[in-house]
Amino acid sequence: MNKIGILVIALLTAATAHAADKRYPVARVQKVEITIPSAHSAWENKDFLDCNDVVLTEKDVLFALRHMRRVSEKSFFSEETARTGCEGEARVVFANGKIILIGVEPTGRISTLDVDAQSKPVGRRPNSFYECEPCAARMDMILQGARNRADERRLKRLEAEGKIPPGEAEVRLKRSRE
């Protein structure tokens, strides 16, 4: 096999590695309704990231639908999986009448639930689990600003409690941002 053939196969493999789930075609989305823009769980650590600083948008949902790839439930809930404790949720209606509830975490973890018009689960296994590496990379820029704000709050709190010398919070923030 020549170099061009190998390159073509590599590109096709890379393109399908993050292919969207065919059950949820973005081209057929009629409506995206953000039901919970920002929620937090027990995993949230406000010293690292405050979930109120990360808000799900319609653009985020459409991007996730385009790039998510299905993973097993075991993989989704694995201890090695990165979590922030933050998640946004949306209701997505497709042209064929299908409705899903989708939860998107900034780390690229995504869960979907097939529901009916009254938001009751449909099917024997209505839940599906996904990862989205491109989503995580896209959110990293947004998260960096949120992490910076969390660092600032944490350092100012430590300064107010007398755990670090006065003025040290500003010095540490400046150093960490450089």
The pLDDT tens digits for 29-65 are 999 999 999 887 755 666 677 788 788 999 999 999 9
Residue 67 burial (CB < 10 Å; 0-12/13-18/19+)?
A: buried
What are the residue ranges of helices labelled H in 68-167? 73-76, 133-160
Note the pLDDT of residue 103: 94
Residues with pLDDT less than 50, the chain: 3, 5-18
The secondary structure of residue 140, as a DSSP letter, is H
Instruction: Give the model's pLDDT for residue 13.
Output: 44
CA distances from 137 to 52, 99, 107, 133, 175 (A): 20, 27, 8, 6, 24
Secondary element (H or E) of residue 172: helix 168-177
Q: Provide the pLDDT for residue 44.
A: 62
Task: Please report the pLDDT score of residue 113 as a whole number.
Answer: 95
Q: How many CA atoms lie within 13 A of 144 on its CB side?
A: 7
pLDDT for res 32: 97
Q: Please state the pTM of the whole predicted model.
A: 0.72
pLDDT at position 47 is 63
Residues 6+ away with beta carbon under 8 Å from 146: 49, 50, 53, 54
pLDDT score recorded for residue 9: 47
